[in-house]
Amino acid sequence: MELIFESLLLLVVGMSGVFASLLLLAGMIWLFRFADETLNKRRIQTYSKKVELHEVVDEVNDEVVAVITAAVTAALRKPVVVRRVQFLNQKSGSASWAVTGRVNIMASHAIAKRKS
Q: Domain spans of the chain?
A: 1-54, 62-107
- The predicted pLDDT at position 39 comes to 93
Q: How far apart are CA 33 and CA 27, in angstroms?
A: 10
pLDDT interval class at 93 (50, 70, 90): low
pTM of the model: 0.41
- The predicted pLDDT at position 78 comes to 87
Give yes or no for a contact between 65 and 82, defined as CB atoms under 8 angstroms apart: yes
> 92 pLDDT exceeds 60?
no
Q: How far apart are CA 8 and CA 16, in angstroms?
A: 12
Reported as a single tens digit per residue, the pLDDT across 24-49 is: 999 999 999 999 999 999 998 888 88
Reported as a single tens digit per residue, the pLDDT across 45-90 is: 888 887 777 665 666 778 888 888 998 898 888 888 888 877 766 6
- The predicted pLDDT at position 4 comes to 92
